[in-house]
A = this chain, B = another copy of it.
Amino acid sequence: MVEKVNLADKFALFQDHWHPRIAGEVNDMHVKLTKLKGEFLWHTHDAEDEMFLVVRGELLIRLRDQEITVREGEFIVIPHGVEHQPVAREEVEVVLFEPKDTLNTGNVENERTVSDLEWI
């Protein structure tokens, strides 16, 4: 049985920030849903590119030499090895597309690290 995923329905199921849920898998990649609000930490993914598709709100991506505002209906891919800091002044809903073993905090492990992500 193949099932579709309605993004709005899934986003309605959780309220916390910076805690991605898995909503799909495509070969070795996961499709994750996350709500962001506030500043995240600077981090890098050594091997994993990371795609952020904004479905609601406005996401600021800070790089060391650049700042990019990603709005609803826009996406950005942060190549592996590029240090970045996601910032959400107001709540943002984001679809992430990244390799299954991607850790949300990349090369940093601290209290904001979420391992063993659950499916939603």
Contacts and interface: CB of A to CB of B under 8 A. Distances in A.
Interface in A66-82: 66, 68, 70-71, 73-80, 82
B28 A28 contact: yes
Main secondary structure of the interface of A (DSSP, over half): strand
Contacts of A97: 26, 29, 31, 97
A7 B48 contact: no
A103 to B, nearest CB: 15
Interface string A1-15: 111111110000000
A88 interface: no
10 contacts: A2-B63, A2-B76, A2-B77, A3-B68, A4-B70, A4-B75, A6-B73, A27-B49, A27-B80, A97-B97
